[in-house]
């Protein structure tokens, strides 16, 4: 029986195989399209597996794989064929969980790939040496519109923004009612419940001091602006950055006169 993986996991593997097959990374246009005239040649891709680091050298029409107890060569066209199979599977599947296409699992076993998502400490998916194999490595993060999008910030405490309720004073039963609310999107639902009850959420602080310093490096008022964008996004359902920016221009949370 074929194993299953999410579209996000398949997308990372597809991108990795496609880069090995084509041997180039295209620069992007301001519109987010591929620029066919500007591209960087790939000499080597480094990827982490459960048993150590693997290096994939592009040598002519072959991929030379070097790693722990592994030194093998595979035709680049094989990576292109499997990449096409993966792309077709994730594009045609209506579900987020996608079964391995015929022949893909056998190829993964042949090239000894067991982790569809690489485990790295710097949050990159793999690193590329451009032009020659000894060049400095450039870490890449794969983002795909086919599967579920990754959040820009972690959902843990290190990326939390603190709000204080400055509207009417809630009685203890009301506070308990808000805290007990559970739903698929409980953060937004709790914020909307507070708003309906007459509460007003106001930015208080950034939970993590490192994250606070990073935001302050961008602008001293950026945490407050970001918090207001988050509040409007949850209460009004605005998710496009361009629309949130327009909303900030109208609301003017920093009270800028000009």
Q: Which of 117, 101, 129, 99 is nearest to 15 (CA)?
A: 117
Q: Which of 158, 151, 156 is nearest to 209 (CA)?
A: 158
pLDDT band of 87, cuts 50, 70, 90:
very high
Number of H helices, E strands in the chain: 8, 11
What pLDDT score was predicted for residue 250? Answer: 92
Lowest mean pLDDT among 2-11, 57-66, 152-161: 152-161
Q: Which of 183, 155, 153, 179 is nearest to 165 (CA)?
A: 179
* Most confidently predicted of 80-89, 110-119, 139-148: 80-89
For residue 125, CA distances in Å to 9, 78, 91 come to 11, 21, 21
- Condensed to tens digits (0 to 9), the pLDDT of residues 90-122 reads 888 888 888 888 889 999 988 888 887 777 666
């Amino acid at each position: 029986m074929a194993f299953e993986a999410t579209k996000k996991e398949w997308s990372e593997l597809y991108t990795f195989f496609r880069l090995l097959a084509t041997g180039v990374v295209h620069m992007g246009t301001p519109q987010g399209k591929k620029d066919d005239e500007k591209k960087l040649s790939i000499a080597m891709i480094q990827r982490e597996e459960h048993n150590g680091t693997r290096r994939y050298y592009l040598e002519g029409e072959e991929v030379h794989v070097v790693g722990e107890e592994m030194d093998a060569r595979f035709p680049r066209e094989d990576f292109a064929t499997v990449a096409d199979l993966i792309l077709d599977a994730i594009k045609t599947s209506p579900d987020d969980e996608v079964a391995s296409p015929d022949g893909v699992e056998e190829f993964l076993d042949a090239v000894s790939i067991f982790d569809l998502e690489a485990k790295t400490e710097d949050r990159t998916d793999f690193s590329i040496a451009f032009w020659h194999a000894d060049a400095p490595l450039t870490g890449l993060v794969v983002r795909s519109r086919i599967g579920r999008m990754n959040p820009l910030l972690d959902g843990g405490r290190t990326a939390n923004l603190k709000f204080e309720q400055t509207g009417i004073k809630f009685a203890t039963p009301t506070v308990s009612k808000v805290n007990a609310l559970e739903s698929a999107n409980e953060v937004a639902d709790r914020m909307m419940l507070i708003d309906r009850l007459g509460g007003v959420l106001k930015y208080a602080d950034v939970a993590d001091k490192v994250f606070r310093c990073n935001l302050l490096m961008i602008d001293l008022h950026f945490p407050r602006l970001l918090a207001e964008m988050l509040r409007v996004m949850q209460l009004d359902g605005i998710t496009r950055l361009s629309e949130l920016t327009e909303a900030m221009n109208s609301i003017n949370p920093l009270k800028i006169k000009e």
